[in-house]
């Protein structure tokens, strides 16, 4: 399918994102001197901005591409929760699946940025148990009529083994695609996923393979081990500057070279990848075509600061600028 045709079909999809929602707060300032109280910079603040983070950023990536999207997660009835809902309203994300935490704040990450350099991050959140979802009928209701469900796990408490079991059954009943961005250190059972999108370190952890940071990535061993443990129909491993490794039914299709021209900030790039991959697959794209689109979208967002999104026009332009081939020979894979 032509990539432009896929982009035009994306508004036909209806997706649900389930996962850990959070608010990203940026404090922008200048620092010209060191505090006399401690050896730290004195920051003069000139602006505050807020963005949706975590699973919420996945949802924003979808609506930026005009995909009908609903978010299911947990936030509190506090200032951060109100700001998050305002962002959802402004960006046309449905939040009928959003539940209220009784004894925990909305997850809030505050970053202090001086001259485009982040100097510290302040996190406000409770223990994971505080963000558990009420599932059952509530989960089945928000899944009704969707073409695909994305599970965005940031290990904050929403995604549990029970949730994955319920979602797998619901998606099988409704014949909709289930995509998972995993956090393997939690040892959850991801069997039943149609798509998994771990990064390099997550893929190694899922495969239970340990190598050095600069060692050659054992592509075949990793894909085979993940297939044996989880049987994902499609597997896309994001490898940073080495592009994306693609596999179906445990068999490697090849690797797409990276599309990024200038990397400014990789925050949220994984959110963009799973959003674009899933939406494209939901409208009938092949894994290769979906990966080309996701690769192009990631190349756009890493050139922006913070968790970012891509518009249909930006995505179309990125695809037309260059359409990189799939590298599928064994020698090429060994170079990863």
> Could you tell me the two tokens for 290?
């979906």
- 3-state secondary structure at position 206: helix
Pick the catalytic residue from 24, 153, 271, 289: 271
Bridge partner list, 204: none
> Could you tell me the two tokens for 10?
């994306």
Residue 30 falls in the annotated catalytic set: no
CA trace torsion 315, 70, 170, 99 (10° rounding): 140
The three state secondary structure string of 256-305 is ECCCCCCCCCCCCHHHHHHHHHHHHHHCCCCHHHHHHHHHHHHHHHCCCC
> Could you tell me how many residues make up the chain?
336
Whether the CB-CB separation of 198 and 219 falls below 8 Å is answered with: no
The residue assigned the tokens 């900030």 is 265
| Helices and strands per DSSP (H, E), number in the chain | 11, 13
Q: For residues 100 and 38, what is the distance between their CA atoms, to the nearest angstrom?
A: 39
How many CB atoms lie under 10 A from the CB of residue 185? 11
Active site residues: 271
């Amino acid at each position: 399918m032509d990539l432009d045709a896929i982009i035009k079909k994306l508004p036909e999809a209806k997706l649900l994102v389930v996962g850990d929602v959070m608010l990203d707060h940026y404090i922008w300032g200048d620092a010209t001197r060191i505090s006399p109280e401690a050896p730290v910079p004195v920051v003069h603040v000139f602006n505050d901005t807020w963005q949706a983070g975590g699973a919420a950023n996945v949802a924003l990536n979808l609506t930026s591409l005009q995909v009908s999207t609903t978010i299911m997660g947990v936030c509190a009835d506090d200032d951060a929760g109100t700001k998050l809902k305002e962002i959802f309203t402004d960006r046309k994300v449905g939040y009928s699946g959003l539940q209220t935490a009784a004894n925990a704040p909305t997850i809030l990450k505050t970053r202090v940025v001086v001259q485009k350099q982040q100097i510290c991050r302040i996190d406000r959140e409770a223990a994971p148990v505080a963000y558990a979802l009420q599932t059952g009928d509530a989960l089945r209701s928000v899944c009704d009529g969707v073409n695909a469900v994305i599970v965005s796990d940031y290990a904050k408490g929403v995604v549990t083994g029970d949730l994955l079991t319920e979602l797998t059954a619901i998606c099988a009943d409704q014949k909709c695609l289930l995509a998972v961005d995993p956090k393997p250190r939690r040892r959850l059972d991801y069997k039943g996923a149609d798509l998994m999108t771990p990064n390099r370190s997550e893929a190694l952890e899922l495969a239970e393979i340990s190598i050095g940071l600069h060692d050659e990535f054992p592509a075949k061993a990793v894909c085979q081990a993940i297939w044996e443990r989880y049987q994902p129909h499609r597997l896309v491993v994001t490898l940073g500057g080495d592009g994306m490794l693609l596999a179906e039914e445990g068999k490697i299709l090849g690797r797409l070279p990276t599309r990024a021209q200038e990397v400014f900030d990789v925050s949220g790039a994984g959110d963009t990848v799973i959003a674009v991959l899933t939406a494209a697959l939901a409208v009938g794209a092949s894994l290769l075509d979906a990966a080309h689109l996701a690769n192009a979208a990631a190349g756009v967002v890493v050139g922006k600061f913070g968790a970012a999104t891509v518009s249909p026009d930006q995505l179309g332009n990125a695809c037309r600028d260059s359409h990189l081939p799939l590298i599928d020979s064994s020698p090429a894979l060994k170079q990863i």
